[in-house]
Amino acid sequence: MKRKSALIFGASGQDGSYLAELLLKKKYIVHGVKRRASNLNVSINNDIYQNRYKKNKNFIVHYGDISDSASVYKIIDKTKPDEIYNLAAQSHVAFSFEVPEYTANANALGALRIVESIKLHNLIKKTKFYQAGSSEIFGRVQDSPQNENTPFYPLSPYAVAKLYAHWITKNYRETYGIFGSNGILFNHESPRRGVTFVTRKIISGLCKIKEKKQKKLYLGNLNSKRDWGHARDYCFAMWKILQQKKPDDFVIATGIQYSIKQFINKVAKKLNMKIYWKGKGIKEKGYDKNGNIIIECHKNYFRPLDVNTLLGDSKKARKLLKWKPKTHIDSLIDEMIRAEYKYLNEDK
Ligand code: F7E
């Protein structure tokens, strides 16, 4: 039987690495697109990329950039894959306020470049396309929990760009019959998460505080609530989405939410640290048992506009894809703490 082939834009990020692993296990030929001057959020991801795939002859690296039309067209023409996964993005919501145009170019036009190349290279009948959507498009939530029918209300340049990518995928599906599906993924984390995202930042910070390698952790909005799952489970959903007979859009979420403060308390408990909270809003502080301030809010980590609550309803995915999250948040935190200690020891 002929091996299936897949092309992953954003192959060296958190999701790209889990997806590549899954597809290689499923005997795909995997083409991964990587930026040559890639300054990825964590060097760990680059290591995974270098060490894990370099020697695998079924993993082929292509240098390119989602913000460069010629490279996107060329790679798609050269590989003519059965499946394309677009995981390439400027993925920091806060940073999108600083670089809105770059964010629109990568996150919105990136998806357009791919669907347009599928069309131009006559791959409509051959190639299935997965667009990595984001729960951020629900923004100022109009209903709770959010499902595929909840109205969108994006609150950042990141979310506005992701909404364009969502609609252009749907538009090419309806206009040209492209097999284009959107996964609307709620937050998903892992030890491979970049250190500037809040879960990894909290786990890394608290581990270092416990080991006396850091005194304090500065954060922003402690009251926002997120629905966090494990990236590995969510990458499995991406693959399932493309194995359907028909293209469609799916919310991928756990259906359970915690505030940032609740997440901190969970991590602290696992590390046998008790945090005593005092104050409100930006003045809220976390103290250790000796009365030292170990968590403080800093204006730099607040966003001009924040999404205060996100909670996903993934009934459709559970029914049609027969998908459900396997990893409970407690196991996710345990895995992230174990990895953090490994990184700390390697640092030594
Ligand atoms: O923030 C609050 C922050 O940066 C979560 C991306 O993968 O998921 C991710 O976007 C919450 C926000 O993720 C800090 O204000 C408090 O309310 O971990 P985050 P995100 O913005 O939800 C979605 C689904 C994506 O699509 C994105 O690509 O935590 N928060 N203090 C903080 N956040 C950060 N980063 N740093 C803080 O110090």
Contact 89, 132 (CB under 8 A): yes
Average pLDDT over residues 1-18: 95
Q: Which pair of structure tokens corresponds to residue 247?
A: 């293209």
**What's the pLDDT tens digit per position in 79-130?**
999 999 999 999 999 999 999 999 999 999 999 999 999 999 999 999 999 9
Run of H or E including 17: helix 14-25
State yes or no: pLDDT of 37 exceeds 70: no
Q: How confident is the model at residue 53 (pLDDT cuts 50, 70, 90)?
A: low
Ligand 1, atom 5: closest residue by C-alpha: 198
Residue 65: per-residue pLDDT: 97
Residue 54: per-residue pLDDT: 63
Residue 38: per-residue pLDDT: 47
CATH code reported for the domain at 198-223+259-307+335-347: 3.90.25.10
* Residue 240 zone, left/alpha/beta (φ > 0; ψ -120 to 50; rest): alpha
More confident residue, 36 or 267: 267
Class of domain 5-191+228-256+310-327: alpha beta
Q: How confident is the model at residue 49 (pLDDT cuts 50, 70, 90)?
A: low
Q: How far is the CA of 321 from the centre of ligand 1 (A)?
A: 27
Residue 250 Cβ < 6 Å to ligand 1: no
Residue 90 Cβ < 6 Å to ligand 1: no
Contact 184, 237 (CB under 8 A): no
C-alpha torsion angle, residues 213, 214, 215, 219 (rounded to 10): -160
Q: How far apart are CA 215 and CA 80, in angstroms?
A: 52
Average pLDDT over residues 279-298: 97
Q: How far is the CA of 311 from the centre of ligand 1 (A)?
A: 14
Ligand 1, atom 20: closest residue by C-alpha: 93
Domain residue ranges of the chain, discontinuous segments joined by +: 5-191+228-256+310-327, 198-223+259-307+335-347
Mutual angle of helices 14-25 and 231-242, in 10-degree steps: 60
Closest among 54, 34, 23 to 130, alpha carbons compared: 23
State yes or no: pLDDT of 166 exceeds 70: yes
Q: How far is the CA of 261 from the centre of ligand 1 (A)?
A: 13
Average pLDDT over residues 335-348: 92
Q: How confident is the model at residue 195 (pLDDT cuts 50, 70, 90)?
A: very high
Closest among 328, 207, 326 to 267, alpha carbons compared: 207
Q: How far is the CA of 294 from the centre of ligand 1 (A)?
A: 20
In order, the DSSP letters of 287-339 are: E-TTS-EEEEE-GGGS-SS---B--B--HHIIIII-------HHHHHHHHHHH
Q: How confident is the model at residue 347 (pLDDT cuts 50, 70, 90)?
A: confident
Residue 20: per-residue pLDDT: 97
Q: Which of 45, 198, 261, 308 to mutate to test the pocket of ligand 1 (most atoms within 8 A of CB)?
A: 198
Residue 201 Cβ < 6 Å to ligand 1: yes
The one-letter amino acid code at 4 reads K
State yes or no: pLDDT of 284 exceeds 50: yes
Q: How confident is the model at residue 291 (pLDDT cuts 50, 70, 90)?
A: very high
Average pLDDT of the chain to the nearest whole number: 95
Residue 306 Cβ < 6 Å to ligand 1: yes
Strand order of the β-sheet with 293-297 is: 217-219, 293-297, 285-287, 276-278
Run of H or E including 219: strand 217-219
Average pLDDT over residues 319-348: 95
Average pLDDT over residues 156-177: 98
**What's the pLDDT tens digit per position in 80-91?**
999 999 999 999
State yes or no: pLDDT of 131 exceeds 60: yes
Ligand 1, atom 3: closest residue by C-alpha: 221
Closest among 28, 186, 9 to 90, alpha carbons compared: 9
Residue 46: per-residue pLDDT: 53
Is the bond leading into 145 cis (omega within 30 degrees of zero)? yes
C-alpha torsion angle, residues 336, 92, 69, 87 (rounded to 10): 30
Mutual angle of helices 198-210 and 260-270, in 10-degree steps: 40
Q: Where are the alpha helices (DSSP H) in 80-195?
A: 93-96, 100-103, 110-120, 157-176
Which residues does 303 contact at the CB level (< 8 Å), separation at least 6? Answer: 93, 94, 97, 156, 220, 221
**What's the pLDDT tens digit per position in 292-322?**
999 999 999 999 999 999 999 999 999 999 9
Residue 93 Cβ < 6 Å to ligand 1: yes
Contact 182, 133 (CB under 8 A): yes
The one-letter amino acid code at 309 reads T
State yes or no: pLDDT of 261 exceeds 80: yes
What residues form DSSP beta bridges with 222? none
